[in-house]
Structure 1
Amino acid sequence: MEQLSAILESCHSAEPQKSSSSWSDRQHKASERWKESRPYNLQCLIEEEAVGHPLCCLCNEPAVIRCRDCLPEEWFCGDCDILHHKKQPLHNRECIIDGFFKAIPPSTCIMNQGDGYCTHEQACLLPVGKASCSSCKGTNIVTSPGKPAILITINGRYDLHQPLHFCETCQRQWAPELKDLIRSGYWPASLSVYTLYTLDLLSSFQELKVISPGFARQAFAKLLEHRTKCGGRSGHINGDALQRSFLELSYSSFEKKQLCCGAEFTCPACTPEMLAVSADGNRKLYRFGQSGSSDDPAFLEGLFVAKDSEVAIFTDAIQKAVKNTQGKGKCGDSQWTAARERSKRASKLDEEVMEVAVCRHGFLLKALNMYGGRYLHTPSSFRKN
């Protein structure tokens, strides 16, 4: 029994060290495997650039176009490429007529002239839902290129044309309306509907803003421009228009949730009885007095940031109930200079601080703008006293 106990104790004492050693060994072996594989990985990356002599996956003719969005059937000749990608203008294609892979926009097609290949321009239509005539319910619809349109996706900018439909039965002609475009997954950049964003793009932008609140819209626009260039396309992307369109979509989405009786800025764990609320001020959330942004009406006034008029009424009610000495402030039962609310620390600022209240789970509950007062500086934040 004594020998068995000694064996068990030695096993138990060796287990933590063995686990740590095992993790270290796995990391070391993984690094060694990557190191051994680097020459082969480099060779594969270089061989990927070789054009070779591919054949069209549809007609077995010599291929001139590669489309990785069509994998596993990625190779096309000029005629099959026009036929196949007529309704797929958002695919990123590459031509090989120069002996290397070159990204081309959807408006460029490759044609065989007998003595060689040459490029031609073509009009590409904005992908929308299937059209039907609302007058005669006819299905004999002819579609042709209409007015120019700019579509911006997560892969960048595409210069396309809106489809122009013509009913051969009743001779009616029409273009997609805004409801048709939204149903197809697009959101307008302006009321002229000249530029469109995909809902997937705006959803990705929202997720980035949630994960990284400091992520700038201009940086996101530069990212989209870079992806546009990588796809063989060109064109500028307006970050301000993207921001305005995103805010309009956010407002409409909020109104939609309200119709579905959705509750914003509530904590499921604290509802209906909240045990604790924490309030703190963020000194970096301020607005300059001459920024001009105060003239823009709020989309959702009073939803999260309390109305200034309501805050003023509440403050007046508190001031009438508490006796304060001029130049000082009441903090509990004592007068405290740092608690006075009439001082203004920065003359060039309109709102100095954003005061935010959260529950113990970190859910945002309510906020208000601070136009004056003093704040005590702590290592972690500025606190209103």
Structure 2
Amino acid sequence: MGRRQGIMMPVWRDLERVLQSTSAPDSDVSAELHTSTRTAASDWGIRSSNTSERWLEARPQLVENMLKATIIRAEFCQMCKTERAVIRCADCMSLSHLCCGCDQKHHHVYSLHNRSSLTNNCRIPLPPTVMVTNEGRHDTCARILPMELPQHICDCSNSVSVIVGRPVVFVNINGRYDLNLPELRCRGCCASWTPQLADLQQSGYWPATIQFCTVHDTDIFQRFREMKLVAPGSSRLSFIRMLEVQTKQHGRTGKVCSDTFYKAFMEWVISSIMQNTEVCIVFVNYVS
């Protein structure tokens, strides 16, 4: 038995040597095959390189398109189709170029749109309280804060007219606006309606003070809260400076008070928590 094992050991060593010599080329071939089949779908480095190359190729065209966008062309009003356009609205994509009359009719309602003047071969950002005349002159006007209005304010069947109310400062994610609150007046019995605190909240706004001389859009509070949750180190002053930059870029003026904003934000957070608590209590009582 021992003699037989001594004879078989050299045979097994020779067999292992032969198998190793024959399998080595196959492993090299498979490695080369794996390297040659690397594609953008499986390799992040190739995808990143291809993306950078595509952006580099498209950069001249992007710059050319930006330069073409700054050119002011003589165009007709897209609403009346007859008068020369003197206003471009960045928020009215289908009606971006308007004449003086159509601009006053259209943006009397959409007072939060960002407009710019196309007169004198230059583009000048305009606040909502400035309109352009047919002669190219800039005149001031009053604009009303968009909000939900009641359908009836009295028992009369006469039509109700919307008039300009007291001034109010409105702040949203695009910065500060100097507007006026709306007022309703009946043409028959002279009954009037002015917005109260509940009307502002129904429209999605939040007062900065109880007298609501300054009003915030609640969307700005939600974005500020999300920013603090995602990036706790972000400062409140940086957020306020961003709003002021937006105000200046769109031709408006004025500052956003940081302390007033933060106080109103905290009151909105507390009220939201209390609202959710009340909803949970009502739901539990209903289920039980």
**TM-score over 0.5 for the alignment?**
yes
For residue 172 of structure 1, what is the aligned residue in structure 2?
191
Partner SS, residue 130 of structure 1: coil
Aligned-partner Cα distance in 2 for 1:138–1:190: 36
| Matching of residue 63 in structure 1 with residue 82 in structure 2 | no
Residue pairs, 1:175-194, within 5 angstroms: 175-194=194-213
Aligned-partner Cα distance in 1 for 2:184–2:173: 28
Aligned-partner Cα distance in 2 for 1:137–1:210: 51
Identify the match of residue 256 of structure 1 among 264, 275, 278: 275
For residue 201 of structure 1, what is the aligned residue in structure 2?
220
Q: Match for 1:119: what amino acid?
A: H
Identical positions, percent = 31
Partner SS, residue 131 of structure 2: strand
TM-score, normalised to structure 2, is 0.82
Aligned-partner Cα distance in 1 for 2:245–2:78: 31
User: Is the 1:132–1:138 contact (alpha carbons within 8 Å) kept by the matching residues of 2?
Assistant: no
Q: CA deviation at 1:173?
A: 1.4
Identify the match of residue 96 of structure 2 among 37, 52, 74: 74
User: Is the 2:153–2:186 contact (alpha carbons within 8 Å) kept by the matching residues of 1?
Assistant: no
Q: CA deviation at 1:16?
A: 7.0
Q: Match for 2:275: what amino acid?
A: K
For residue 67 of structure 2, what is the aligned residue in structure 1?
46
Structure 2 segments unaligned to the other structure (5+ residues) = 1-18, 282-288
Partner SS, residue 179 of structure 2: strand
Partner SS, residue 117 of structure 1: coil
Q: CA deviation at 1:198?
A: 0.3
Q: CA deviation at 1:25?
A: 2.8
For residue 31 of structure 1, what is the aligned residue in structure 2?
52
User: Is the 1:133–1:139 contact (alpha carbons within 8 Å) kept by the matching residues of 2?
Assistant: no
User: Is the 1:138–1:167 contact (alpha carbons within 8 Å) kept by the matching residues of 2?
Assistant: no
Q: How many residue pairs end up in the alignment?
A: 258
Deviations 1:101-145 (A, max 9, x none): 111000011111xxx321111100011113333442756211111
Structure 1 segments unaligned to the other structure (5+ residues) = 263-385
Q: CA deviation at 1:257?
A: 0.7
Aligned-partner Cα distance in 1 for 2:27–2:279: 63
User: Is the 1:217–1:240 contact (alpha carbons within 8 Å) kept by the matching residues of 2?
Assistant: no
Partner SS, residue 157 of structure 1: strand
User: Is the 1:147–1:161 contact (alpha carbons within 8 Å) kept by the matching residues of 2?
Assistant: yes
Aligned-partner Cα distance in 2 for 1:134–1:81: 29
For residue 14 of structure 2, what is the aligned residue in structure 1?
none
Aligned-partner Cα distance in 1 for 2:156–2:229: 45
Aligned-partner Cα distance in 1 for 2:64–2:49: 24
User: Is the 1:189–1:197 contact (alpha carbons within 8 Å) kept by the matching residues of 2?
Assistant: yes
Aligned-partner Cα distance in 2 for 1:161–1:133: 21
Q: Match for 1:252: what amino acid?
A: S
Q: Match for 1:178: what amino acid?
A: L
User: Is the 2:153–2:192 contact (alpha carbons within 8 Å) kept by the matching residues of 1?
Assistant: no
User: Is the 2:125–2:251 contact (alpha carbons within 8 Å) kept by the matching residues of 1?
Assistant: yes
Q: Match for 1:179: what amino acid?
A: A
Q: Match for 1:143: what amino acid?
A: V
List, as ranges, runs of 4+ consecutive aligned residues in structure 1 with deviation greater than 4 Å: 6-14
| Matching of residue 144 in structure 1 with residue 177 in structure 2 | no
Q: CA deviation at 1:165?
A: 1.2
User: Structure 1 stretch 19-28 or stretch 227-236: which is displaced more?
Assistant: 19-28
Bigger CA radius of gyration: 2
Give the RMSD, CA atoms, in angstroms: 2.5
Partner SS, residue 171 of structure 2: strand
Higher strand share: 1
Q: CA deviation at 1:29?
A: 2.5
Residue pairs, 1:152-167, within 5 angstroms: 152-167=171-186
Aligned-partner Cα distance in 2 for 1:10–1:121: 79
Q: CA deviation at 1:225?
A: 0.4
Partner SS, residue 253 of structure 2: coil
